[in-house]
């Protein structure tokens, strides 16, 4: 039995739902005297036997772990309800799909050959009905997702999370190492930049950013084929952690409001500088990560409270139309049409409710006014039904909930400041700014 046959057997006997089988398949067994016996896996004389309820299977290979999530496998459309054609994909993708798409939804949601993102939950939310929903016809039955299917999906997502004991994605060889020859390459870039911009090149923040960007390019090239790139190695890991570890500490903000950056060329790999100014900057960066972060988080919480107090009494007045002729103007196109769904728009002096995505699509290419709380003409602490989204008018006391979303953005931003900060250069387009 080769790895592919083994995987087929695993699917057939639904072994992925049993964690002791997952362990047997994806971890390296600890052998004593070249022997091992866990009941599921028996190893002796370099021969591996895999035991399931249906019998014992001798494997014709000797490699651990027995299955690798990067291995390729061929999936047959006759064995997968979520597939409309045979595909070749990685074991990792096959397993994730099996647990969170194939098993719970049985073909209602198609196989995703790649990263499964939270957008799948938008699909579920739109099609969710109760378990005793009576379908209109067969087609409707195949589209609608029942609560029990959602529960199986959530259970399997949670179950998949427990696998992180066996799969440490972040620990690939390349993520643990600096880009090859980075110190030499950095020296050369710094030399070239000083030649081009003069001795004081790095007193200019633009040059600091340019240097950081050049180094990050080298790092990206190094990580190019790494399976963790874009999944766990992304965002703050690339922009902050790896940059400071292996490339350069770069521009470190001071604690005053000026926003001046102190430049520290060293990376943590090269050690702490002895020069008092740069050493101070390094200390500041540590302090920013602890004390200052706590203060900023506090600011996020305070801001949420202030806004909630200000908005606490606002309600939506049902069956009242303030009669405003104002709103925000928007040219509907295929990137923004969803934003007018469930809103009232003013089209040729008439207020119309956009009740579905289809209806919103119909306005692509048109310039319209969307009624908004911002331009509601009612006085006092309320908005009329027509100036808010239909979803909000169904829940007239729910304004608070919507507003907390704004405060959570502020909260997120102030926390993020300490996690993922990148300075970048952007080109100013005069026409766009002043038009
Ligand atoms: Zn209004």
**Span 164-192, mean pLDDT?**
89
Q: Percent of the chain having pLDDT more than 70?
A: 95
Task: Mean pLDDT check: name the lowest of 136-140, 155-159, 224-228, 409-413.
Answer: 409-413
What is d(CA 387, CA 322) in angstroms, rounded to the nearest whole number? 8
List CB contacts of 285: < 8 A, sequence separation 6 or more. 249, 252
Crossing angle of helices 3-12/19-26, nearest 10°? 180
Task: Mean pLDDT check: name the lowest of 66-70, 133-137, 281-285.
Answer: 281-285
pLDDT at 204: 86
The residues with which 369 forms a beta bridge, in sequence order, are 329, 346
| Exposed e or buried b per residue across 312-335, where buried means at least 16 C-beta atoms within 10 angstroms of its C-beta | eebebbeeebbebeebeebebeee
For residue 199, the CA-to-ligand 1 centroid distance in Å is: 61
Task: Kindly indicate the confidence band of residue 263, based on its pLDDT and cuts at 50, 70 and 90.
Answer: confident
For residue 350, the CA-to-ligand 1 centroid distance in Å is: 14
What is d(CA 239, CA 399) in angstroms, rounded to the nearest whole number? 37
Task: Mean pLDDT check: name the lowest of 148-152, 158-162, 341-345, 429-433.
Answer: 429-433
Residue 428: phi and psi, rounded to 5, are -90, 120
pLDDT at 435: 47
Is 306's pLDDT higher than 50?
A: yes
For residue 101, the CA-to-ligand 1 centroid distance in Å is: 43
For residue 109, the CA-to-ligand 1 centroid distance in Å is: 40
pLDDT at 150: 96
Would you state the structure tokens that stand for residue 127, as one six-digit string? 């099609």
Would you state the structure tokens that stand for residue 375, as one six-digit string? 């331009």
For residue 317, the CA-to-ligand 1 centroid distance in Å is: 9
**Span 380-394, mean pLDDT?**
88
Is 397's pLDDT higher than 80?
A: no
**Span 41-47, mean pLDDT?**
94
For residue 376, the CA-to-ligand 1 centroid distance in Å is: 4
Which of the two residues, 111 and 285, has the higher pLDDT score?
Answer: 111
For residue 240, the CA-to-ligand 1 centroid distance in Å is: 46
* Summary mean pLDDT of the chain: 88
pLDDT at 432: 61
pTM of this structure: 0.58
Give Rg (Cα) of the chain: 29
Is 303's pLDDT higher than 70?
A: yes
**Span 165-187, mean pLDDT?**
88
Torsion of CA 299, 305, 308, 313, to 10 degrees: -150
For residue 315, the CA-to-ligand 1 centroid distance in Å is: 12
Where helices occur in 1-102 by DSSP H, the ranges are 3-12, 19-26, 91-97
Is 215's pLDDT higher than 70?
A: yes
What is d(CA 67, CA 81) in angstroms, rounded to the nearest whole number? 23
The residues with which 262 forms a beta bridge, in sequence order, are 252
Task: Mean pLDDT check: name the lowest of 44-48, 96-100, 226-230, 401-405.
Answer: 401-405
For residue 372, the CA-to-ligand 1 centroid distance in Å is: 7
For residue 386, the CA-to-ligand 1 centroid distance in Å is: 6
Is 418's pLDDT higher than 60?
A: no
Torsion of CA 108, 112, 116, 119, to 10 degrees: -50
Per-residue model confidence as pLDDT tens digits over 87-101: 999 999 999 999 999
């Amino acid at each position: 039995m080769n790895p592919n046959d083994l995987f087929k057997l695993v699917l057939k006997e639904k072994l992925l739902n049993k964690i002791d089988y997952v362990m047997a398949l994806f971890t390296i067994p600890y052998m004593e005297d070249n022997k091992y016996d866990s009941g599921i896996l028996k190893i002796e004389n370099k021969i591996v036997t895999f035991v399931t309820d249906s019998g014992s299977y001798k494997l014709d290979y000797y490699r651990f772990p027995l299955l690798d999530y990067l291995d390729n496998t061929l999936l047959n459309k006759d064995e997968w309800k979520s597939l409309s054609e045979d595909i070749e994909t990685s074991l990792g993708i096959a397993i994730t799909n099996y647990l969170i798409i194939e098993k719970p939804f049985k073909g209602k949601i198609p196989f995703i050959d790649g990263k499964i993102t939270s957008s799948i939950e938008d699909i579920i939310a739109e099609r969710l009905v109760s378990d005793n929903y009576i379908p209109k016809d067969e087609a409707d039955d195949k589209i609608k997702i029942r609560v029990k299917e959602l529960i199986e999906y959530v259970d399997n997502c949670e179950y998949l999370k427990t696998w992180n004991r066996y799969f440490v994605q972040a620990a690939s060889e390349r993520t643990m190492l600096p880009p090859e020859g980075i110190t030499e390459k950095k020296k050369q870039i710094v030399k070239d930049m000083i030649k081009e911009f003069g001795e004081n090149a790095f007193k200019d923040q633009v040059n600091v950013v340019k240097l950081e960007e050049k180094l990050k390019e080298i790092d990206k090239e190094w990580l190019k084929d790494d399976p963790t790139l874009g999944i766990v190695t992304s965002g703050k890991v690339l922009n902050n952690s790896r940059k400071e570890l292996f490339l350069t500490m770069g521009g470190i903000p001071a604690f005053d409001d000026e926003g001046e950056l102190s430049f520290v060329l060293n990376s943590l790999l090269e050690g702490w500088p002895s020069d008092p100014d740069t050493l101070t900057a390094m200390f500041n960066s540590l302090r920013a990560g602890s004390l200052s972060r706590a203060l900023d988080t506090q600011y996020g919480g305070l801001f949420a409270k202030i806004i909630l107090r200000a908005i606490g009494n606002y309600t939506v007045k049902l069956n009242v139309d303030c009669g405003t002729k104002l709103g925000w103007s928007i040219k509907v196109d295929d990137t923004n049409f969803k934003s007018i769904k469930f809103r009232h728009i003013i089209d040729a002096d008439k207020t119309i409710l956009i009740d579905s995505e289809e209806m919103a699509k119909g306005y692509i290419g048109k310039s319209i006014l969307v009624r908004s709380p911002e331009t509601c003409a009612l006085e006092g602490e309320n908005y009329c039904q027509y100036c808010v989204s239909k979803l909000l008018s169904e829940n007239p006391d729910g304004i608070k909930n919507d507003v907390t979303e704004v405060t959570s953005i502020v909260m997120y931003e102030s926390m993020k400041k300490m996690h993922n900060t990148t300075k970048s250069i952007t080109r100013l387009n005069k026409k766009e700014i002043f038009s």
